A and B are shown apart, each in its own frame.
Chain A
Amino acid sequence: MIKFSKLLVQLIYCSSNNEKVKIIINYLNKADIQEAGFAIAALTNNLKFKNVKNKTVKEIINKKIDKTLFDLSYDYTGDLADTISLIWDKTKSNSASSKSIVDVVKQLNSNNTDLEKYITDFLDSNYVDVRWAFIKLLLGGFRVGVSANLIKKTLAVYGNKNKDDIEKIWNGLSPPYLNLIKWLRNEGEYPQIKMSETFHSMMLANSIDLKKDLNKINLNEYLAEYKWDGIRVQIVCKESKTKIYTRTGEDITYSFPEIILDFKELVVLDGELLAGKNFTPTSFGELQKRLNKKNPSKKLLFNTPVFVRLYDILFYKEKDIRNKNLLCRKKSLYQCYADIKNNINFDLSEMVKFCDYNSLNKIYENTKTSKFIEGLMIKKKTSLYVPGRRKNLWLKWKRSPRYIDVIIMYAQRGHGKRSSFYSDFTLGIFNNNNIVPIAKAYSGYTDKELKLLDKFVRNNTIKKFGPVREVKKILVVELAFDSMQESNRHKSGISLRFPRFHRIRWDKPSDEILSLDQIKLEFMN
């Protein structure tokens, strides 16, 4: 655990991703295969101990540590691992410290372990950093600034392998990933996984603006579809069991019990989850009501129905067809759809017919009046289904943003490179004589503009609330956004999708901007 705790301590204070990759590789080089595997499992939050609950740990702590002092300390730090590791008085010499992460995992998983004694003994015989790493391991949720994606990237560098090949099998592997590490170390074959129990990493699109970049592609080689404003999902079905995953591989099956397929042989479909009845989409806000609800009530299911609009297929009748081109896959998709066309929760994303740029542009312009179409998807007919974002295979031509003028209200310093700059802004608009927040934005400006914004904040601060500065309400910003919705989360009663800076209006007096009522009139129809 000493090695593992050193790894965590190095990671938590490191702000550069490249450095983090180096730190992890350095650990992997020194670790044996099991240590490496369990560390990867821990960092990607894939290590769960069914015997250990937050409650179990707290009860053990309460037996050893005065409850009032513990609660006051926990209240202050807000982090259980920090609190326990610091408040614990080390009572024995370093006997357990030679135990590796492998032993610890084994003990915690064993039904024969007296958990209370084991945890107490471990804490008694180790130093602060090791205790801290141990509690993190017990309870999960490391908060050391390492994403699963960064781990995959690191593993690709470590094994000098293609990240796609890791991506393809990752979701089907389980801790401690011994076959994966053997392969990375050139000591074993490429691991085989069960395709039916796995989320398959999705193919993603790059942005394009055909008005400017038409010459970058040959439009004849592409087909077009509408870009629906829902959430991207992958449907995996085998033996009549259906699973639904988000773009990040999160399993959301439990939230959508009505999305059911009935295939015996493996089918994996790609599409957009939308709210609406009879295949008529409603706004994204409606769909949000259904997200993160574990067991939706009958009432919710009835009032906010959803369906999946299918546009691609990865596996059909057990066969992996990701290496077939898009037109072939579309053919398989239609065949597959013929079997489910009576299913009221599935329909097909129709292709948009166009003969040249002008006719496509007309369709694009027409999307602007729709609430649930974000623009067009332009996909290369010969493209294979490959994970991640690839140049000029799938392209999204989002409809051009809309703009409003807003006033800077508060500013906060950013992260990493931007940590000395006030770069995160809360923006507001007039409602009667008050200014109410409407959005937060932290992108869209140039480095040079950021310096000027930072200077503005420092020179115009009127109050400080911890890290937040309130500034004089004098600077107008032209804000770009994709769409506007009603929302009771913001004081203004509306929320914006993807707000970002467009221009800073150093010249514009703040009393000349539109008020909340005027904005609602213009954008919410």
Chain B
Amino acid sequence: MKIRYGNECAKNFQIIKYGEKLVINDIIVSFYPSGHILGSAQILIENKNNKILITGDYKTIPDDTTESFKLVKTDTLITEATFGLPIFKHPDPDKEILKLLESVKNFSEKPHIVGAYALGKAQRIIRLLRKAGYDEMIYMHGAIEKISNYYIQKGIMLGKLKKVEKEDIKSLKGKIIIAPPSALKDRWIRKFDNVRTCLASGWMMIKQRAKQSKVDLPLVISDHADWNELTNTIINCQTQKVWITHGREDALKYWCEKNNIYAQALSLKGKEEH
């Protein structure tokens, strides 16, 4: 958090391990992996009679850069709903990343700039590339460097990485450069010649929307649960009540009610995935 938001982003910091129980009066608070990014957690708040689980941002599919999602049984579930519509069924990321490698092969004269959220998504893309056997140098926009170094420090193998410098620009043909999505629209991108732009996001599922993003290669890779993961989690955690936040509440609420689970929308402040 300090790397991302600065040293003063909170007054006090307290480190806690997954599964460790924190007792506050007669309430117990514990944290479980949410599979979203490195260190992300679901929060379980319980007393003798009742359990409330807050998923936060989560996904249940495997990801090398984070601890796997842990299913926790609860009475009340507060779930995210970023992709809370049945049109969102994310494809297999291992297959999706092959599209990028194929493009690098077919357009070997072009630098490939991949837009990926700096915290988590960028490192996951790098890891997916390594897993698929890509072992060339991967270049990074400055905004990605610090967090990637932290991931490496935590033992996640990202291979050869380099912050892209002025002197690199001419030698980037057929290379992969990872940058935050905003950089694709920013002045930063103008210094490269003849680029192919890619964007890794769950939103890329919708073709008209992907077209509007004006990238050459959309990649459907998301760190959020898709519709099937959302609904399966609701069933499997055996909750009676669901509170829905962060995203498209209507469809998920309707689905819950149709399946005889009480549900209501909960408005919380927060940002959408990029």
Contact = CB atoms under 8 A, between A and B. Distances in A.
Interface of A: 9, 12-15, 66, 68-69, 72-73, 76-79, 81-83, 86-87, 132, 143, 145, 413, 415-416, 419-420
Contact of A72 (B206, B207, B214, B250): B250
Closest 3 A/B residue pairs (Cβ): A86-B87, A79-B208, A72-B251
Interface of B: 85-89, 184-187, 189-190, 205-211, 214-218, 248, 250-251, 254-255, 258
A82 B207 contact: yes
17 contacts: A12-B210, A15-B216, A68-B254, A69-B86, A77-B208, A78-B208, A79-B207, A81-B207, A82-B87, A82-B208, A86-B88, A87-B87, A132-B207, A415-B214, A420-B184, A420-B187, A420-B189
A189 B184 CA distance: 50
A12 B251 CA distance: 28
B206 A77 contact: yes
A413 B185 contact: yes
Contact of B89 (A72, A86, A145, A415): A86
Which residue of B87, B186, B206, B210 has the most chain A CB atoms within 10 A of its CB atom?
B87
Contacts of A76: 85, 87, 248
B176 to A, nearest CB: 18
Interface secondary structure of A, over-half rule: helix
Given A420-B185, A420-B187, A420-B189, A13 B210 contact: yes
Contacts of B254: 68-69, 72
A35 to B, nearest CB: 22
A86 B206 CA distance: 8
Given A73-B86, A79-B206, 14 more contacts: A9-B207, A13-B210, A14-B216, A72-B85, A72-B250, A76-B85, A76-B248, A81-B207, A82-B209, A86-B89, A87-B87, A413-B185, A420-B185, A420-B189
Contact of A13 (B85, B86, B187, B218): B218
A498 to B, nearest CB: 26
B214 A419 contact: yes
Nearest to B218: A13
Contacts of A12: 207, 210-211
Contacts of A413: 185
Contacts of A73: 85-87, 251
Contacts of B250: 72
Nearest to B183: A420
A79 B255 CA distance: 22
Contacts of B187: 420
Given A13-B217, A79-B208, A420 B86 contact: no
B189 A83 contact: no
A429 B88 CA distance: 45
A69 B218 CA distance: 25
A77 B187 CA distance: 29
A86 B202 CA distance: 13
A420 B88 contact: no
A90 to B, nearest CB: 10
B111 to A, nearest CB: 15
A76 B258 CA distance: 21
A82 B255 contact: no
A416 B197 CA distance: 12
A470 to B, nearest CB: 18
B208 A15 contact: no
Nearest to A145: B211
A239 B63 CA distance: 72
Nearest to A414: B214
B208 A420 contact: no
A291 B216 CA distance: 38
A133 to B, nearest CB: 10
Which residue of B86, B89, B218, B254 has the most chain A CB atoms within 10 A of its CB atom?
B86
B78 to A, nearest CB: 21
A74 to B, nearest CB: 9
A420 B190 CA distance: 8
Nearest to B85: A73
A13 B209 CA distance: 10
Nearest to A144: B211
Nearest to B87: A86
A369 B259 CA distance: 73
Contacts of A78: 208
Nearest to A416: B214
B214 A15 contact: yes
Contacts of B185: 413, 419-420
A384 to B, nearest CB: 41
Contacts of A82: 87, 206-209
Which residue of A9, A66, A69, A416 has the most chain B CB atoms within 10 A of its CB atom?
A69
A128 to B, nearest CB: 8
B211 A77 contact: no
Which residue of B88, B208, B217 has the most chain A CB atoms within 10 A of its CB atom?
B208
A516 B184 CA distance: 40
